[in-house]
């Protein structure tokens, strides 16, 4: 029987059910770890941040035992904690520009008409044959674009959840994804043209 995240959360909060918490972690670990790895580009550091994330999650859930208030999807709540852990590290290393800086939102009326749960970026990404090439170009994106792309691709959060998590409007989150994809397509096109010239 497949138990919902809410059911597992309640089992942990009400009875201290460690198995329920372990199932929650196992269910979402690939998404959370994938996001952290995309943010820091270092497996050892991503492992540390993954552990730090779940220490924070456990502390937060234990403090609220008996009075836990559902905060939307459990995964979105955990991703907020993972994001804070990653940004705390990146800011301490001074490798991260302000991801909450204002971003150009022209075309907002167009983005307002888009559904919240647009197609996952997986389809566009899957068409790109060279994994290493893609990783390098994702890393080269502006930080705010890279973060939205990673949140959407690695964790499958909705754009509404991404907007809430990053503290921007849904239009800004959608705009950042749009520019990230446009930048990747432009780089892919330039790379193909270069191959034709060199070949």
pLDDT digits (tens, 9 = 90+) for 46-98: 999 999 999 988 888 877 654 445 556 888 889 989 998 998 888 777 644 44
Here the tokens at position 133 are 């090439």
Per-residue pLDDT, 33: 93
Per the structure, the complete domain to which residue 140 belongs is given by 98-199
Chain length of the chain = 199
Per-residue pLDDT, 184: 85
Which CATH number is 138's domain given? 1.10.10.10
| Cβ atoms of 154 and 86 closer than 8 Å | no
Cα 181 vs. chain centroid, distance in angstroms? Answer: 15
Q: Please, which residues have CB within 8 angstroms of residue 41's CB and are 6 or more apart in sequence? A: 139
Q: For 116-157, what is each residue's pLDDT tens digit?
A: 444 444 444 444 445 667 777 788 889 999 999 888 888 878
Identify the band that residue 22 occupies on the pLDDT scale cut at 50, 70 and 90: very high
Here the tokens at position 60 are 């937060």
Q: Please, which residues have CB within 8 angstroms of residue 86's CB and are 6 or more apart in sequence? A: 35, 36, 39, 40, 49
**Same domain membership, residue 118 and residue 70:** no
**Same domain membership, residue 135 and residue 87:** no
Rg for the chain (alpha carbons), in Å?
18
**Same domain membership, residue 138 and residue 82:** no
Which CATH number is 41's domain given? 1.10.1740.10
């Amino acid at each position: 029987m497949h138990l919902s995240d809410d059911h597992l959360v309640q089992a942990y909060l009400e009875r201290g059910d460690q198995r329920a918490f372990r199932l929650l972690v196992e269910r979402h670990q690939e998404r959370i770890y994938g996001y952290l790895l995309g943010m820091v580009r270092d497996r050892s550091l991503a492992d540390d941040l993954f552990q730090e994330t779940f220490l924070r999650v456990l502390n937060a859930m234990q403090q609220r035992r008996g009075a836990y208030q559902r905060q939307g999807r459990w995964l979105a709540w955990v991703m907020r904690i993972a994001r804070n852990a990653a940004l705390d590290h990146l800011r301490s290393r001074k490798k991260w520009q302000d991801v909450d800086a204002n971003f150009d939102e022209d075309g907002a009326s167009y983005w307002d008409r888009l559904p919240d749960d647009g197609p996952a970026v997986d389809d566009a990404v899957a068409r790109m044959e060279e994994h290493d090439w893609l990783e390098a170009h994702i890393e080269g994106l502006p930080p705010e674009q890279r973060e939205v792309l990673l949140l959407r691709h690695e964790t499958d959060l909705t754009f509404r959840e991404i907007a809430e998590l990053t503290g921007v409007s849904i239009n800004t989150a959608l705009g950042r994804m749009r520019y990230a994809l446009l930048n990747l397509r432009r780089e892919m096109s330039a790379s193909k043209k270069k191959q034709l010239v060199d070949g």
